Amino acid sequence: MLTLRRATILFVLLFMQVMASPVFAQGAGEEEEGKSWVLAYIYVVLLVSLGVMVVGFGTNRENEEARKKERKEALEKEERLKKLEGGH
C-alpha cells in the first residue's frame, strides 16, 4: 500500500529528476552567458526538505508500546479471573 510518506518521497524524487535533467543534458561547451543557479537552489531545497520529512515523520513506536502494554494488562486480568474462578 502506498503511504503518504512513500508517495511524498516518490514525488520529490521524480520532481528532482525532471528539474535536473536539462542541467545534466547541457554539454560543457554550451554554457549560457549568465549562469543560472535557480535549478541548483531548487535541487538543494528539495533535498533538504526530503531529509527533514524523512527524519520528522513520526514512527509507530509509541502506538506499538501502548498496544503491548494493553495486551499485558489484558493477560494479567485474565489470569486474575482464572484464579478467582478456580478458588471457588
pTM, to two decimals: 0.36
Q: Express each pLDDT in 25-53 by its tens digit.
A: 566 555 566 666 777 788 788 888 888 87
CA nearest 23: which of 37, 11, 34? Answer: 37
Q: Pick the range with the lowest mean pLDDT from 3-12, 16-25, 43-52.
A: 16-25
Q: Which residues contact 9 (CB under 8 A, 6 or more apart)?
A: 50, 53, 54
68-84 pLDDT per residue, tens: 899 999 999 999 998 88
